[in-house]
């Protein structure tokens, strides 16, 4: 008897479930109506695809995106799932064949668009079969509170009534509580179960950097992503056209996409991107809805997005295959002013909402201290509590020293007070810097004692300081004009001359570490990718339908030499092995022969679902004699991540082998090492900061992490 787990492996070639896939599948199989909310790339499709292979009767999938159906059906078929669709893109002959296969039960999975549900032919077809599972994809479309309401989704309620025995599975990536409730009540879920996966996308590296020379910065970024796919978002159509043309001239493979282009051109450009014929799409935000391209390796925001939600959705289009992807936002204040200007032309609620959205994205962009994931996930009602995500610019930045900013802080806070707590940061800064602008003169603020005492810092630096003071809780912003008020904490600080530590913004930020990409053989990857492209073009499907990038990356990292080993690669199930196994094996073998490379064994570790336990496995393997370097290759993560796992392992009370391997990870002299160990013995190993300070801030946090581990292992 096949189980969900065996189907996952044999049919789809995956070792473990993503979060909540198993729970959703089990609920569906138990006949309970289920609502599943997962971020893009979370793996919603498997939640009905696996049950469809286990249930007696048909699984119907209602999805609004006809354009995607064809690819999805192809994808299912290459994996050996009997899936069909019925829609207007089929020839009458194909339509008839598909009808027949649904009727005689040879098709287990049927994709339909909502508007066709009640056409005569479909209606009569559905009355002849047994419906086991009704799946509603993009289920938020049923709710008027959603951002994408579709009236035709309302008909789904009637379908439910006609098939009271069919289980219903609603899936979406949009998660507001109101929409959730609406979906359940519209669909008359009685005793339902709800699963909400985390919206954190661990594989996305998130970076915001000041935009100085947008084009130059974009080009040097793209040079690091040679031959890889990605999206560049711009604010205006004109910008899109210009940038796309410029990139093309510079020899990049790029095409534009925006609503001003002819329909045909738009479609062709999108298709070229999905099929890997072109690497880069330069687009307005119109691009992305309803395209399923799992291997976008980067998303650049060339201009500031209008809201955090939009931004998160856009960067979410990178790395849907779960491999690392890089998201870069180029930020500068003139973009903010431009958007403010647009907003100033609006009125009423619309204006207020747009201002709030803009303030939020500005705050997010200017935050140089907190993990980027915190504010992003907070938007989806999630609290991100890890200290260091290791995949955002702020978390991977060299620890920046805090300096004494008491004096400028006092100047700023007093000026807020003197101007009556009735103005925003811009005006306060003008007063501090001794501006003679109209507003300053109108209020007579040139007569204040704080007038002109702040010439030592630039306007930008004052604005930055103001935001820091807000984040530290000294100031509070309120109202449409972001009026600043002192908090009791600020009054107290002024009164007691409390020392305040923080940062004064430098003109340019230090260059930041970019995480290593995966450790795999790029030359072999290029060969396999080429092969995949040939096969895809022959079959006239997008490349990912054959194999995902992840599969090719694993092949180029482990060099499988037999079909048995190929089967261990992520995404290789029985059907794909039969169809493509030999073809790829031949390429790999011939490459390995001419380069004298041997197979590396893949130990299939359980990916995400067991991620919380990975430190245990890493710790045990380390104790069994594996080097840190080997472990980092095996898990395809940075050595720093392995060190963190070991810290967790040791902190949980497991003895850790004290090897020379640890010492090799640091460049500290024996004396420095001894000092650090002593400091850890004195101050404990829970926090790094006290030790950092005790050692006069001379030893980097990276080195301290290693030293902590050595201390723990002794
Ligand atoms: P969603 O519809 O939620 O955006 P998909 O169903 O398209 O996500 O899945 C995204 C990608 O992740 C696909 O390439 C899919 O094959 C892959 N995937 C899904 N589940 C798993 C899993 N358990 N292990 C590995 N890859 C998976
Ligand atoms: Zn972070």
Give the mean model confidence (pLDDT) for residues 417-424: 93
Per-residue pLDDT, 289: 63
Give the mean model confidence (pLDDT) for residues 7-22: 92
Pick the CATH number of 608-713 from 3.40.50, 1.10.3470, 1.10.10, 2.60.40: 1.10.10
Per-residue pLDDT, 613: 66
Give the mean model confidence (pLDDT) for residues 365-371: 84
Per-residue pLDDT, 283: 94
Question: Which atom of ligand 1 approaches the CA of 39 most closely?
Answer: 3
Q: Which ligand is nearest to the CA of 397?
A: 2
Measured in Å, residue 46 CA sits from the centre of ligand 1 at 7
Per-residue pLDDT, 638: 75
Per-residue pLDDT, 510: 37
Per-residue pLDDT, 479: 74
| 204-396: in CATH 3.40.50.300 | yes
- Give yes or no for a contact between 150 and 113, defined as CB atoms under 8 angstroms apart: no
Closest CA to 331 of 207, 145, 204: 207
Per-residue pLDDT, 563: 94
Give the mean model confidence (pLDDT) for residues 128-149: 85
Q: Which ligand is nearest to the CA of 386?
A: 2
Per-residue pLDDT, 607: 42
pLDDT-based confidence at 322, cuts 50/70/90?
Answer: confident
| Residue reference for tokens 């500005």 | 362
Closest CA to 479 of 422, 420, 414, 416: 422
CATH topology classification for 522-602: DNA polymerase; domain 1 (1.10.150)
Does the structure show a pLDDT above 60 at 142?
Answer: yes
CA distance 694 to 699: 10
Query: CATH assignment of 403-504?
Result: 1.10.10.10
Measured in Å, residue 319 CA sits from the centre of ligand 1 at 11
pLDDT-based confidence at 102, cuts 50/70/90?
Answer: very high
Nearest alpha carbon, ligand 1 atom 10: 41
CA distance 62 to 113: 6
CB-count burial class (<10 Å; 0-12, 13-18, 19+) for 275: middle
- For 265, the enclosing helix (H) or strand (E) is helix 263-274
Measured in Å, residue 454 CA sits from the centre of ligand 2 at 33
Q: Which ligand is nearest to the CA of 206?
A: 2
- Give yes or no for a contact between 305 and 314, defined as CB atoms under 8 angstroms apart: yes
CA distances from 288 to 231, 293, 559 (A): 9, 9, 34
Domain ranges of the chain: 4-196, 204-396, 403-504, 522-602, 608-713
Question: Which atom of ligand 1 approaches the CA of 38 most closely?
Answer: 3
Does the structure show a pLDDT above 50 at 394?
Answer: yes
Measured in Å, residue 699 CA sits from the centre of ligand 2 at 22
Give exposure, 295-323, as e/b (b: 16+ Cβ within 10 Å). bbbbbbbbbbbbbbbebbbbbbbbbbbbb
Q: Which ligand is nearest to the CA of 384?
A: 2
pLDDT-based confidence at 350, cuts 50/70/90?
Answer: confident
- Give yes or no for a contact between 241 and 290, defined as CB atoms under 8 angstroms apart: no
Q: Is the dihedral of CA 427, 433, 437, 441 positive or negative?
A: positive
Measured in Å, residue 466 CA sits from the centre of ligand 1 at 43
Ramachandran angles phi, psi of 328, nearest 5°? -120, 125
| Residue 310: half-sphere exposure toward Cβ, Cα within 13 Å | 19
If phi > 0 it is left, if psi is from -120 to 50 it is alpha, else beta; for residue 400 that is beta
Nearest alpha carbon, ligand 1 atom 24: 14
Nearest alpha carbon, ligand 1 atom 2: 44
First to last CA, the chain: 51
Does the structure show a pLDDT above 60 at 417?
Answer: yes
Write the DSSP assignment of 440-459 as a string of letters: HHHTTGGGSTTTTTTTTS-H
Ramachandran angles phi, psi of 232, nearest 5°? -115, 120
- List the structure tokens of 8: 């996952």
Q: What is the DSSP letter of 261?
A: S
User: Does residue 631 or residue 273 have the better pLDDT?
Assistant: 273
Per-residue pLDDT, 603: 67
pLDDT-based confidence at 569, cuts 50/70/90?
Answer: very high
pLDDT-based confidence at 58, cuts 50/70/90?
Answer: very high
User: Percent of the chain beyond pLDDT 90?
Assistant: 43
User: Does residue 478 or residue 653 have the better pLDDT?
Assistant: 478
Greatest mean pLDDT among 42-56, 480-494, 514-528, 536-550: 42-56
Nearest alpha carbon, ligand 1 atom 19: 43
Q: Is the dihedral of CA 459, 465, 467, 470 positive or negative?
A: negative
- Give yes or no for a contact between 12 and 6, defined as CB atoms under 8 angstroms apart: no
- Protein residues within 5 Å, CB atom, of ion ligand 2: 371, 389, 392, 395
Per-residue pLDDT, 146: 64
Does the structure show a pLDDT above 80 at 449?
Answer: yes
Q: Is the dihedral of CA 469, 473, 475, 480 positive or negative?
A: positive
pLDDT-based confidence at 26, cuts 50/70/90?
Answer: very high
Does the structure show a pLDDT above 70 at 615?
Answer: yes
Per-residue pLDDT, 650: 79
Closest CA to 621 of 631, 613, 611, 632: 631
- Give yes or no for a contact between 504 and 403, defined as CB atoms under 8 angstroms apart: yes
Question: Which atom of ligand 1 approaches the CA of 548 most closely?
Answer: 14
Measured in Å, residue 367 CA sits from the centre of ligand 2 at 11
Question: Which atom of ligand 1 approaches the CA of 42 most closely?
Answer: 3
Q: Given this chain, do its domains 204-396 and 522-602 carry the same CATH topology?
A: no
Does the structure show a pLDDT above 50 at 515?
Answer: no
pTM for this model (two decimals): 0.63
CA distances from 533 to 280, 334, 541, 548, 622 (A): 17, 42, 9, 11, 40
pLDDT-based confidence at 587, cuts 50/70/90?
Answer: very high
Does the structure show a pLDDT above 50 at 514?
Answer: no
| Long-range contacts, stretch 487-490, CB < 8 angstroms, 24+ apart | 490/413
Measured in Å, residue 182 CA sits from the centre of ligand 2 at 34
Measured in Å, residue 390 CA sits from the centre of ligand 2 at 6
Q: If DSSP states are collapsed to H, E and C, what string results for 32-77? A: CCEEEECCCCCCCHHHHHHHHHHCCCEEEEECCCHHHHHHHHHHHH
CA distance 601 to 204: 27
- For 555, the enclosing helix (H) or strand (E) is helix 549-558
Measured in Å, residue 635 CA sits from the centre of ligand 1 at 20
Give the mean model confidence (pLDDT) for residues 79-101: 93
Give the mean model confidence (pLDDT) for residues 207-211: 91
Per-residue pLDDT, 338: 85
From 9, 15, 46, give the residue whose CB has the most ligand 1 atoms within 8 Å, as the site to mutate: 46
Give the residues surrounding ligand 1 with Cβ less than 6 Å away. 14, 17-18, 21, 38, 40-46, 294, 320-321, 548
- List the structure tokens of 338: 């431009």
From 7, 11, 41, 604, give the residue whose CB has the most ligand 1 atoms within 8 Å, as the site to mutate: 41
Q: Which ligand is nearest to the CA of 197?
A: 1
Measured in Å, residue 158 CA sits from the centre of ligand 2 at 46
Question: Which atom of ligand 1 approaches the CA of 8 most closely?
Answer: 23
Greatest mean pLDDT among 315-319, 382-386, 559-563, 628-632: 559-563
Closest CA to 172 of 47, 308, 273: 47
Per-residue pLDDT, 517: 47
Nearest alpha carbon, ligand 1 atom 18: 43
Give the mean model confidence (pLDDT) for residues 276-304: 87
User: Percent of the chain beyond pLDDT 70?
Assistant: 94
CATH topology classification for 4-196: Rossmann fold (3.40.50)
Tell me what the pLDDT averaged over the chain comes to.
86
Give the mean model confidence (pLDDT) for residues 83-111: 94
From 43, 172, 201, 571, give the residue whose CB has the most ligand 1 atoms within 8 Å, as the site to mutate: 43
């Amino acid at each position: 008897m096949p189980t969900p787990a065996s189907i996952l492996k044999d049919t789809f070639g995956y070792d473990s479930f993503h979060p909540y896939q198993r729970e959703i599948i089990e609920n569906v199989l138990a006949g309970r109506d289920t609502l599943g909310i997962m971020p893009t790339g979370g793996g919603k499709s498997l939640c009905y695809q696996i049950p469809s292979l286990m249930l007696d009767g048909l699984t119907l999938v209602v999805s609004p995106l006809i354009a995607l159906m064809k690819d999805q059906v192809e994808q299912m078929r290459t994996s050996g799932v009997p899936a069909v669709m019925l829609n207007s893109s089929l020839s009458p002959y194909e339509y008839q064949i598909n009808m027949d296969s649904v009727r005689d039960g040879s098709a287990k999975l049927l994709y339909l668009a909502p508007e066709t549900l009640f056409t005569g032919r479909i209606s009569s077809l559905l009355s002849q079969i047994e419906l086991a599972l009704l799946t509603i994809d993009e289920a938020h479309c049923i709710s008027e509170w959603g951002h994408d309401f579709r009236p035709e989704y309302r008909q789904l309620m009637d379908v439910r009534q006609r098939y009271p025995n069919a289980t219903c599975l609603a899936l979406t990536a949009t998660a507001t509580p109101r929409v959730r409730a609406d979906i359940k009540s519209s669909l008359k879920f009685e005793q339902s179960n709800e699963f909400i996966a985390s919206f954190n996308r661990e594989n996305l590296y998130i970076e915001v950097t000041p935009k100085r020379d947008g084009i130059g910065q974009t080009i040097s970024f793209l040079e690091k992503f040679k031959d890889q796919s990605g999206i560049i978002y711009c604010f205006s159509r004109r910008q899109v056209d210009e940038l796309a043309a410029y990139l093309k001239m510079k020899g990049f493979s790029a095409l534009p996409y925006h609503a001003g282009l002819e329909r045909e051109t738009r479609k062709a450009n999108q298709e070229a991107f999905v099929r890997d014929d072109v690497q880069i799409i330069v687009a307005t935000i119109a691009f992305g809805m309803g395209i399923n391209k799992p291997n976008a390796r980067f998303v650049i925001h060339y201009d500031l997005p209008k809201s955090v939600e939009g931004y998160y959705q856009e960067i979410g289009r990178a790395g849907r295959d779960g491999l690392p992807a890089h998201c870069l936002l180029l930020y500068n204040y003139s973009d903010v002013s431009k958007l403010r200007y647009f907003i100033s032309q609006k009125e009423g609620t619309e204006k207020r909402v747009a201002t709030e959205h803009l303030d939020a994205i500005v705050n997010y962009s200017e935050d140089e201290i907190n993990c980027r994931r915190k504010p992003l996930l907070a938007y989806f009602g999630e609290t991100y509590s890890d200290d260091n995500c290791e995949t955002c610019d702020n978390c991977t930045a060299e620890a920046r020293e805090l300096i004494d900013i008491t004096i400028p802080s006092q100047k700023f806070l007093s000026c807020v007070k003197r101007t009556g707590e009735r103005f925003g940061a811009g005006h306060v800064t003008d007063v501090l810097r001794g501006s003679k602008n109209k507003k300053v003169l109108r209020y007579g603020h040139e007569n204040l004692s704080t007038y002109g005492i702040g010439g030592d810092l630039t306007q930008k630096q004052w604005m930055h300081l103001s935001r820091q003071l807000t984040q530290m809780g000294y100031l509070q912003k309120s109202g449409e004009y972001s009026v600043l008020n002192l908090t009791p904490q600020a009054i107290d600080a002024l009164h007691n001359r409390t020392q305040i530590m923080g940062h004064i913004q430098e003109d340019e930020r230090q260059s930041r570490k970019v995480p290593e990409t995966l450790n795999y053989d790029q030359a072999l990857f290029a060969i396999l990718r080429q092969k995949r492209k040939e096969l895809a073009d022959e079959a006239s499907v997008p490349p990912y339908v054959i194999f995902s990038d992840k599969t090719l990356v694993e092949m180029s990292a482990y060099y499988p030499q037999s079909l048995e080993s190929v089967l261990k690669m992520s995404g290789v199930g029985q059907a794909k092995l039969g169809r493509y196994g030999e073809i790829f094996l031949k390429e790999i073998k011939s490459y390995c022969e001419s380069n004298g490379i041997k197979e590396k064994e893949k130990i299939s570790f359980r990916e995400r679902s067991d991620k919380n336990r990975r430190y245990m496995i890493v710790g045990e393997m380390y104790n069994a004699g594996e080097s840190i370097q080997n472990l980092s290759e095996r898990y395809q993560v940075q050595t720093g991540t392995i060190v963190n796992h070991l810290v967790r392992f040791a902190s949980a009370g497991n003895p850790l082998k004290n090897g020379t391997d640890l010492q090799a990870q640091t460049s500290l002299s024996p004396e420095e090492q001894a000092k650090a160990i002593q400091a850890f013995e004195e101050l404990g190993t829970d926090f790094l900061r006290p030790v950092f300070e005790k050692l006069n801030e001379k030893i980097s946090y990276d080195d301290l992490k290693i030293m902590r581990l050595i201390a723990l292992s002794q």
